[in-house]
Amino acid sequence: MKYRNNNFFIENIKAEKIAKKYGTPSYCYSYSKLKNNILNFKKNFKILNPLICFAVKSNPNLYLLKEIKKFGLGADVVSIGELMRALKAGIKPKKIVFSGVGKTEEEIRYAINKKILLINTESESEIKEIEKISKSMSKTIDIGIRLNPNTDAKTLSQISTGKKENKFGIDEKQFLNLVKYIKNSKNLNLKCLSVHIGSQILNHKPYEKMLKVLERVIKKSNFQFEFIDLGGGMGIDYDGSNQKLNLKKYSNAIQKFIKNHNSKIIFEPGRSIIGDTGIMLSKVNYIKKSSRKDFIILDAAMNDLMRPALYNAKHRILPLNKTKQKSKKNYEFVGPICESTDKFLNTNKFQKLNEKDYIIICDVGAYGMSLSSNYNMRPKASEILVNGSKIKIISKRQKLKDLI
Ligand SMILES: *Cc1c(COP(=O)(O)O)cnc(C)c1O
């Protein structure tokens, strides 16, 4: 995805063509980028021969899941809906792990019936609930326990999950007690230790700290885990500074760690696979001038892309077609929704925009469409996949009549 003669292209397709033909706001993904991300991820961790379970919550588009599956990836799901979607995409149950703090009885039964690889549990109550259900079904169920390693991921506080004040995982002391408990259970089979310390992690150091904690806890537990599920969280370059997680360094740290343990590694990447494969195409509906800044009122809003409003996340915005004219004003890119948090970016460096111009919001492939809603009764945007010179609608724009 780049400019050719000042026009933005997605592979061989001029983005303007898509915007005009299919309307805005639209999510637009590059197949090559997706393929490269998957191959690059695999290459960096090749020596570990891990099971890579794509975190479906980052982007549950069925067509994309089918493409991801073709590269041999499994799925990390956090609800029955995601589990059904992953199975529908053809992902084998033995490549699916189920995470999340509040799985219901319905969800647990469904997961047991589908014979997925692992249910990763997050509390003593949940472990006892699964035991009760599997007993009633006369089964023995493979589970993991998610450890809360009390490790600071050094990321946005809203997407940090591995500290003791977070609701996720089980602390060391309880973890060790539960290992003993499960050893004596007829209906539970402990197979996995899982962790996931947060998202958009840009430095390998927090991961190294996390591995140290695992080392200590595994030693104390005196238990041989068949799987060690290290979660996801690998960060991407949102601000164009080229700062992203060095997967190779992380891989080296894991390699050292795994030498002492005869376990298979599982990863659950979401953002690092799909985040930078997608852009949002949007149109400038109005420019509202004020003394300090101009409000660039887009046709995309927080219901289409929630991350800025939810996490104060920053996504770069680019013009669809570059000109040499600089704007003298500060621009604030906003949506039309009746919330003051419905804004995307403030900038004093942008080319001069006119009403009806198109812009691009970058790196929206992960937690973009999946976090979208119908707030303000707005139909969901379309999703489009570009592969070379081919354009495919992989999710249609919602129709107003379906909403009303
Ligand atoms: C969200 C989540 C992931 C994926 O995180 P990314 O930052 O998108 O890689 C993986 N595992 C669990 C348990 C999660 O909740």
- What pLDDT, in 10s, does the model give residues 316-348? 999 999 999 999 999 999 999 999 999 999 999
SS3 state at 115: coil
Model pLDDT for residues 114-150, shown as the tens digit of each residue: 999 999 999 999 999 999 999 999 999 999 999 999 9
Distance 158 CA to ligand 1 centre (A): 13
Specify the CATH number of the domain 2-29+275-403.
2.40.37.10
Report whether pLDDT(158) > 90: no
CA pair distance 15, 4, nearest whole angstrom: 11
Phi, psi dihedrals of residue 139, rounded to the nearest 5°: -130, 165
- Name 361's bridge partners: 280, 317
Give dist(CA 370, CA 366) in Å, integer.
Answer: 8
Mean pLDDT of 88-107: 97
Least confident of 153-162, 310-319, 361-370, 381-390: 153-162
- For the record, the structure tokens of 175 come out as 């973890």
Q: Within 13 Å of residue 257, how many CA atoms lie on the same side as its CB? A: 25
Find the 193 Cα to ligand 1 centroid distance in Å.
Answer: 15
CA gap 310, 76 in Å, rounded: 23
Answer yes or no: is the C-beta of 196 below 6 A from any ligand 1 atom: yes
| Cβ(271) – ligand 1 distance below 6 Å | yes
**pLDDT tier at 260, thresholds 50, 70, 90:** confident
Cα gap 181→167, rounded to integer Å = 22
- Burial label for 234, CB within 10 Å (0-12, 13-18, 19+), is buried
Looking at residue 244, its pLDDT comes to 84
Q: Which atom in ligand 1 lies closest to the alpha carbon of residue 272?
A: 9
* Backbone φ/ψ region at 164: left (φ over 0), alpha (ψ -120 to 50), beta: alpha
Give 100-267's CATH code, choosing from 3.30.750.210, 3.10.20.600, 3.90.550.10, 3.20.20.10.
3.20.20.10
Exposure string over 243-277, b if 16+ CB within 10 A, otherwise e = ebbebeebbebbeebbeebebbbbbbbbbbbbbbb
97 CA → ligand 1 middle, Å? 12
Q: What is the helix (H) or strand (E) element at residue 66, kind and residue range?
A: helix 62-70
Q: Can you give the residue ranges of every domain in the chain?
A: 2-29+275-403, 100-267
Q: Is the CB of 144 under 6 A from ligand 1?
A: no
Mean pLDDT for the stretch of residues 176-205: 96
Report residue 292 CA to chain centroid gap.
36
What tokens were used for 363?
């790196």
For residue 338, indicate whether it is catalytic: yes
Whole-model pTM: value is 0.97
